[in-house]
Amino acid sequence: MIDADRKCKYCGSWNNLEVHHCIHGNGRRKLADEDGLTIYLCHTCHMKLHDTRAIDLAYIQYAQRYYEKNIGSRAKFRERYGKSWL
């Protein structure tokens, strides 16, 4: 998990938390689980994220930066996830 604090990464709430896979779609959720590219979001923010492409993209980019800093290079990220969002 990118941020192990048990609070919503978006609003800071500790209520109704859900795990969000920052990288998703096309079989990428399993890879995100393996790489720990997940964050906590409260249910309200999680639903808002899935309805707002700009917020979703911000967390995808956040996860990619985390991966590049802590796991591998941009080339490795692109190889593993099929593209770069940066």
Residue 32 — very low, low, confident or very high, per pLDDT cuts 50/70/90? very high
User: Would 4 be classed as within a structural domain?
Assistant: no
**Is the pLDDT at 30 greater than 90, yes or no?**
yes
User: Would 29 be classed as within a structural domain?
Assistant: yes
Length of the chain: 86
DSSP symbols for 12-53 = ---SSEEEEESS-STTHHHHHHHHT-EEEEEHHHHHHHHH-H
User: Would 3 be classed as within a structural domain?
Assistant: no
40-86 per-position pLDDT tens digit: 999 999 999 888 899 999 999 999 999 999 999 999 999 999 999 99
Number of domains in the chain: 1
**Vertex 54 angle, CA 73 and 82, to 5°:** 35
Domain range enclosing 75: 17-81
User: Could you tell me if 17 and 8 are in contact, meaning their C-beta atoms sit under 8 angstroms apart?
Assistant: yes
